[in-house]
Chains A and B, each alone.
Chain A
């Protein structure tokens, strides 16, 4: 069947050359119909390998976990050194924000016995503020005409809590040494620095997706969000 197709092609090619004989020099070229054109087209339909490149079902569990951990770690690095890269936006995931949020909420607990009169934020309050706050800021930026998608924005806002979590760890270490004025001053400086770092890092990722005359309207809620989280970290006092 292939041969007959080729024969028909040869015939039509010859007709083509005859009809357009005014192309000088080309009229000599014609493919003779006597010579059969033969060939062999074979498609390798044979047995495939059981594990293709795209199937991750058979890899060891360690590989799966490490791949996700590596992705999360890479994004942490991107947050700590915010350059204009689109890695955070392109492959968003919510593992990092969840990890950071749970760590921060747990560290703000302090494990006190008389937690009712202490008035410090409960685990649920911290969780709700972080996640609800991120959702509201994302909705705000989308309603103002932003081009970033919902989960990308959640991802960026969640990952940029990393400096504040680091500040929380530092504050707890400082508080081990006493809670006087000096420790308060140190904590104030650390929290202020990390809060501005967080705001700057998230603005570097989010500001590009907004129309230029509304950038400040989008940046202000982000500033407020990290300010409140910074306040919660700064006012953490250990129970005694």
Chain B
């Protein structure tokens, strides 16, 4: 059995020896006095935790980087993108409809756990809500017309799907590519990964789902008001997210990037509204025989 003498704290000298032999090692200093001295005076205790590069690299990977489990041909790789709970998804959706100026969506909500569940199912829901609401609004706007025969207009689902999914995947690809290129040219450090960009865009489309349902109300001014409100909310989420990434660039590039992002978003909203939803001008005329107004001609031309 050990004698009482052996229970003395004997690593003191060992730590000093290690530290003097390798002064560049990272050390953890427990005392509150001067932590930067290379030689340990008698009041401090230093524990030498790591004296090689591997440990430092490992800890930085765990703290900040992405964990890539397996190659892209394994199932676990894709499972790592669905590592979210119900509460987290709801929290991210709430963050996308309530943009606050200080809260960067990526830094605050995603926090290096980007998921593909939210963007994918929000896009699918948006596709069907656009098609169904568009069909409903066509039906409501043509209800007074005795010659109208109801059609499900199911081909609109395919068109809506192509549009929404192209927007949700190609535009983030472009934005990410542009930001990465500027990052390499201008040597900034505020970049986002591709998945985080897709995540932001996917969640920012959520506001269009209730907007598309409300677009069935056949008042023109209401529809345009809804577009403006949705654009403001959704656009500000995107602007707040991407502004910190470009503000270190030249003024022209920064403003141009943000303007392009907002313009594309507006284009999606207005395009969907004009294509899928007939305005109320078609039915404003009281004479059933005169309901072919120039506005409806214009929208039918758009429909083909």
Contact = CB atoms under 8 A, between A and B. Distances in A.
Interface of A: 117-122, 125, 140, 142-145, 213-217, 220-221, 224, 227-228, 231-232, 235-237, 240
Which of A122, A221, A235 gathers most chain B CB within 10 Å? A235
Q: Name B's interface SS.
A: helix
A235 B152 contact: yes
Interface of B: 75, 78-79, 81-82, 84-87, 89, 117, 121, 124-125, 128, 132, 135, 149-155, 157-158
A235 B135 contact: yes
B152 A213 contact: no
A119 B151 CA distance: 6
Nearest to B85: A213
Q: Which 3 A-B pairs have the closest CB atoms?
A: A119-B151, A143-B82, A119-B153
Given A144-B82, A145-B79, 20 more contacts: A118-B151, A119-B152, A119-B153, A119-B155, A120-B151, A125-B157, A125-B158, A140-B117, A143-B79, A143-B117, A145-B82, A213-B86, A213-B87, A214-B84, A215-B86, A216-B86, A220-B121, A224-B124, A235-B150, A237-B149
Contacts of B84: 214, 217
A26 to B, nearest CB: 47
A236 B154 CA distance: 11
A224 B128 contact: yes
10 contacts: A118-B151, A119-B152, A119-B155, A121-B154, A125-B154, A142-B75, A217-B85, A217-B117, A221-B124, A235-B135
A117 B135 CA distance: 14
A211 to B, nearest CB: 9
Contacts of A231: 128, 132
Nearest to A234: B152
Contacts of B135: 235
